[in-house]
Structure 1
Amino acid sequence: MTSLVTKDSWLISQGQDGDGIPEVIGGFTVPNPLHIFTDISNYERCGVFPMVYSCNGPVVVEKCIQRRLSTLAQGLDLVSHDLNVIVYAGVDGMIGHLNLFIAGVLHRDPSVGNLLIDPNPGVRTDEQIFNNNCLRLDKFEFLKTIGHLKRCYGYLIDSDLAIRWKDQREAARHRSGTLPFMSHRLLESWDSRPLHTAIDDLESFVWIVLWSALKTIKSPTFRELDWLTRISDDDIQVVAAFKMTIMILISKPRTELSPELKPFHPLFKRWFSIALDAQDKLDELIASATIKAVPTIDLDTLLCDKAKSVHFIQEVEELCFGYYQQYLKGGTEFLQGRGMYGDLEKA
């Protein structure tokens, strides 16, 4: 029996009006946009996340438009699947994110709820493989050569917070994401409105895979249970500080892990090493374009000046492409070593 899934989204009106879900068979904009509520004068601040709402200024609400979609695609949660499949789905999510990025779209909210597993992945045809935007760039040809694109376990959904990142520079300064999966960089610089880039979203996929693995393993160590609790904390400073602790701890060669998670230590060590390097390089690039400019300018001024921002945007794009390549090579080489492409070699 065919299942029909209906999904309501609240898309940022100045962002990317897309769905991010395969096999969409119908969609329409609901004629009741939420921005009619943005001019409310009498309001109370939410007390759940005091750090988020600690400022004394007026509440800023992004204008959203409700979108309703019907789809035939029906995915499963990552949790409770084989850890190899969770990693495979994480790599698939990165590839889907890359395909969007090449098209000029930044997702801005990779999370465990927005990355689903196809219960019947099957084997892709040559035409399906060819349609991947990433194959237009030579640096991602290895994805086809290694065989990863012949099967897709995971797919990325929910483009509610997506933007056309090259055009909507102001929107790109708005923090977005799901706290346990946001990059350390975005959390650490929460009050300074950091520029949200693909580098931040790529790190989010690593946290998705780690969180899902921690939730899945049957006999976690005390340390692993503590990781899961602290990553899921409501306090932004706690999550930011602890994420850096995990990234440094996993980079050590003798991290104590459960027998189920230990075989995946090399992958997390490689991915978190990439994440730390990417944070540094992005911060250096932003500093070079602003602090070292003559005369010195701030990031908002740079992004709002089209003439000055063109070169900077190109540099950010190239930096992101380089880290897409590093993350994907790390993931696919690990999966190849785990024998995940063996049955696809003759397909």
Structure 2
Amino acid sequence: MQTIAATNYSIFFNELGYEKLATYLLPAQYSKIFILVDENTSQYCLSHFLNNLTTEIELEIIELEAGEIHKNITTCFEVWSALSELGADRKSIIINLGGGVITDLGGFVACTFKRGIDFINVPTTLLAMVDASVGGKNGIDLGNLKNQIGVIREPKAVLVDTEFLSTLSQKEMRSGLAEMLKHGLIFDKEYWNQFKNLNNLNTDYLNTLIHRSIEIKNTIVSQDLNENGIRKALNFGHTLGHAIESYFLDKKNKSPLLHGEAIAVGMILESYISREKGLLTHDEYHEIKYIIKDIYERIEFDSEDIKNIQDLLIFDKKNEFGKVQFSLLDGIGKIKINQSTDKQLIVNAFEDYSR
């Protein structure tokens, strides 16, 4: 797959990626390499990565517990402490080998340790490949509230090795697929149309879809790194999706949802709002609703759930002057940012989702 040039770094793929990585990791450039993993990537991905990594620099492995519940300041403190104890200096570099939690948190740790050291993202999940590892967003959660603390700073490079996908469950693959569906809906109708029939999906075709998804996200981010305008398009499905994800993460009687599972619901709900505002046709809405529902399991919501999810919307990062801001579809393949709605329309969207 062809290298994708971002604003200040490049996204490399597979074998070429390891060759390029070797040109970065030279003793004259870095004093020490720290590889951040969680218990899953340590078990399933680390040996493959190390077998393909060429460098003469001393390596240290820092392993974390897996899961969104550990994407917090306490874990950051543990990693900062480990870096200090293991002799990290300002010429050290962190390689974040993992899913979105590792790339988000690892990037934030790197940006803040000794006022900032370099980092490279090596995503190991589909979700991280097409979303979390690209675009320079680094951060952690504040309690159950998603990505409330963070900074925008781009990595030195991203290496996408699709061999890691063989370690994932179908549930994890579907989670990543949600962001790919989103990229088609907000930017490229032809790309969206490719997801209408995935029966003939093979490795080469999946690689092509992944490459195009990253290309779309990079095209948007390159125009608006700090999310003052068009980058907000990438939040389609996320205003309600993040609130749903946070709610299910915090409620002890609910099973936590994977990011993509929550975003899939959010995209249906926000497509409904788009239709009700006259931005999406009836047929377009039903196409989106039933394609997504065919891929993801239905989530049950009662009236109390809906009220509590609406209460969480006030914490969404896009809000301005206390108003909840949505990015809504303006037909398939186009987007309108900074859109408002009312509470009853959100309730109606949940009711329609449940039908």
* TM-score, with length taken from structure 2: 0.28
Bigger RCO (CA 8 Å, 6+ sep)? 1
* TM-score, with length taken from structure 1: 0.29
Higher strand share: 2
